[in-house]
């Protein structure tokens, strides 16, 4: 079974631009979560989608948004990029069941550099 696939692996953007990152979950997984990883703040939860609906949201500004499609694939968008948005963005997918018991499986991430 293929794992979580994130594209692209690397991105370089300039301040003020916007960017879209893509995530394809493991086949059969309907929950997709996004995390931001930086040296200073560590791993922080961005949001979670299930059945095309945002179910949880972390403490990030409205410039960060996402969506999920009917095939469970997800995209996240960051508008008006700032230098501080430079990070590794990780996507995770999981089966739905008793939520606390689910295991989240992570993709390799998209490394975004904002110049």
Partner 1 sequence: AQSVAQPEDQVNVAEGNPLTVKCTYSVSGNPYLFWYVQYPNRGLQFLLKYITGDNLVKGSYGFEAEFNKSQTSFHLKKPSALVSDSALYFCAVRENAGNMLTFGGGTRLMVKP
CB 99 to partner 1: min, Å: 5
Binding partner 1 (rule: CB under 8 A), the pick from 90, 93, 112, 114 is: 90
Q: Residue 66 interacts with partner 1 (CB under 8 A)?
A: no
Specify the pairing of strand 87-94 against strand 105-106: antiparallel
Annotate each residue in 25-54 with x if it binds partner 1 (CB under 8 A) or - if it does not, as one string: ------x-x-x------xx-x--x-x----
DSSP 25: P
- The neighbour count for residue 56, using CB atoms within 10 Å, is 12
The answer to whether the CB of 38 falls within 8 A of the CB of 23 is no
Look at residue 99 and give its three-state secondary structure. helix
Residues near partner 1, by CB under 8 A:
4, 6, 31, 33, 35, 42-43, 45, 48, 50, 55-56, 58, 90, 92, 94, 99-109
């Amino acid at each position: 079974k293929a794992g979580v696939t994130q594209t692209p692996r690397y991105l370089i953007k300039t301040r003020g631009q916007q960017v879209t990152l893509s995530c394809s979950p493991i086949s059969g997984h309907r929950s997709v979560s996004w995390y931001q990883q930086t040296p200073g703040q560590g791993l922080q939860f961005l949001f979670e989608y299930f059945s095309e609906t945002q179910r949880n949201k972390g403490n990030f500004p409205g410039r960060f948004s996402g969506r999920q499609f009917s095939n469970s694939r997800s995209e996240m968008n960051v508008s008006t990029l700032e230098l501080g948005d430079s990070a590794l963005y990780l996507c995770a997918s999981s089966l739905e069941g008793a939520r606390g018991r689910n295991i989240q499986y992570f993709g390799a991430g998209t490394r975004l550099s904002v110049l």
